[in-house]
Amino acid sequence: MTIKGLEDYMVPCINKKIFGVECLGCGMQRATALLFSGQFEAAFKIYPAIYTIFLLLAVIAVNFFIKFKFDYQIKIGLILLNAIIMVVSYFIKMNHFI
């Protein structure tokens, strides 16, 4: 299934529908679909936090089965990194600096 086929199943952004402004998560679904279809650069351009989010999810999944030292600090650090990337990329997108 291509990205075009997946677009039919994507959840629309309620924030964008109601207020006309994208939210911090806008683009995540499309970036995930692009990532799984092998379009890595396009996925990053649409949603720069896509790779760090998947890294965070991988750490959480591994940590569910294997406990390791400093797991809490690693997860908090990745959450903060994701938040920073999401906020910075959002402001860049909204101010059309790209």
Token output for 32: 């995930």
Question: Could you give the number of structural domains in the chain?
Answer: 1
Buried b / exposed e over 22-45, threshold 16 CB at 10 Å, is eeeebbbbbbbbbbeeeeeebbbe
- At 93, which helix (H) or strand (E)? helix 71-95
pLDDT, position 1: 53
pLDDT tens for residues 42-91?
999 999 999 999 999 999 999 999 999 999 999 999 999 999 999 999 99
Q: Say whether 2 sits in a helix, a strand or coil.
A: coil
Domain span holding position 82: 3-95
Residue with tokens 């903060």: 80
51 token code pair: 């790779």
Q: Is the pTM of this model over 0.75?
A: yes
Q: Is 12 helix (H, G, I), strand (E, B) or coil?
A: coil
The pLDDT value recorded for residue 25 is 87
pLDDT digits (tens, 9 = 90+) for 12-39: 888 888 988 888 888 899 999 999 889 9
